[in-house]
Amino acid sequence: MNLRASLLLPFALAASAIAQNDQDSFQTPALFVSENGTTFQRVWIVNSSKNTVRYRETEIATKIEESRISRFDTIYIYEPPDYAKALDLYQARNYSEARELFSKVKETYRPVATIENNPSTLAAYHEMECLRKLGDLEALAAALREFDKAPLTREYQIRQIELYLMWEAVRTQNWEQVKKIVEERAKSRLPGDQLAQLAHCHALALEATGSQQEAIAAYQRAIVADAAGSEEISREAVLKVLAILTAKPEVKRAILYWDKPEQNTASPGYSQLLEAAALANLYLINLGGGQPLPEPFKDLPNYRPKPEQDAALQAAPPETD
């Protein structure tokens, strides 16, 4: 049951939670929901175990009650202000600061880490997402080893935890394992950002095992799968394709002979150079996040065909270099 939208109290009320690292003084406001969502009890949770929850019935009560978690349809813990702030930083793509704040929430709310979708587990999940987006696969692997996914109930998040196994295979350069995971996950219906991860990791594996043309196609799928939401993947994929294309001898020849009598506008190298130029422009316009092109690629946007060359290119199939 998703009660966040309907039950979230104003920010000032949520801020009244007492959540300290000293577990003896920890308490956080929550709702017990029962009888098919018709009965609500506001409480202050002190801690929980796998099967039970301990709580105060008022914020200042001295007596601590205990109930079995199974008594309730849902235990809804009010969203902590620091968690809301971390989500804002995350959505603003400020992953470094968001990670620090998620880590703080994770530790603060450990006393309730056995409750479904609790702030500690959700913060730990988003901390790992920050690490993935920052490209810190070593830290992601360490965080994953300590992570307990049992409190998660949202299908998207559970599937993302499973996709971390693919990123771990990338980290260890187990390319056959990456390909196996991609093949298995490709059978599922996935949202755009997870499709982008799948395509990108597949491209890395293909490139590492010498299938460059297939790698280019996979990188291109990664770029278009979720360009707006997975900007870190789209950005890296563009640079990977540029690196592959500009390393090709035929593209190097096309650069060498550009605007010279030896230029062959019907050659594969010429076509691939124009492809690289288009991707470089896309990087500058959108995918690069305002960053300049790396030095090896900074001149690529300058390779634009003259109008008559463009018309001829469209009219004739490329030759073989």
Give residue-wise pLDDT tens across range 49-63: 999 999 999 999 999
pLDDT surpassing 60 at residue 301: yes
What are the pLDDT digits (tens) for 7-26?
444 433 444 444 544 445 89
Cα-flanking dihedrals φ and ψ of residue 41, to 5°?
-130, 120
Cα-flanking dihedrals φ and ψ of residue 173, to 5°?
60, 40
Report pLDDT for 309.
Answer: 56
Report pLDDT for 25.
Answer: 85
Report pLDDT for 14.
Answer: 46
User: Residue 74 forms beta bridges with which residues?
Assistant: 33
- Strand residue runs (E) in 49-195: 52-56, 65-68, 74-77
Report pLDDT for 312.
Answer: 52
> Could you tell me how many residues make up the chain?
321
Q: Are 69 and 53 in contact (CB under 8 A)?
A: yes
Q: What is the pTM of this model?
A: 0.85
Say which residue, 231 or 18, is predicted with more confidence: 231
Per-domain residue ranges of the chain: 4-153, 174-243, 248-321
CB within 8 Å of 193: residues ≥ 6 apart: 225, 226, 229, 230
pLDDT surpassing 60 at residue 299: yes
Report pLDDT for 37.
Answer: 84
Cα-flanking dihedrals φ and ψ of residue 40, to 5°?
-130, 135
Judge residue 308's burial from the number of C-beta atoms within 10 Å of its C-beta, 0-12 exposed, 13-18 middle, 19 or more buried.
exposed
Other Cβ atoms closer than 10 A to 193? 16
DSSP state of 37: T
Of 295, 204, 202, the C-alpha closest to 246 is 295
Q: Are 128 and 162 in contact (CB under 8 A)?
A: no
- Provide the pLDDT confidence category of residue 35 given band limits of 50, 70 and 90: confident
- Provide the pLDDT confidence category of residue 177 given band limits of 50, 70 and 90: very high
Could you identify the residue written with the tokens 């499709």?
A: 195
pLDDT surpassing 90 at residue 246: yes
Q: What is the mean pLDDT of residues 62-67?
A: 95
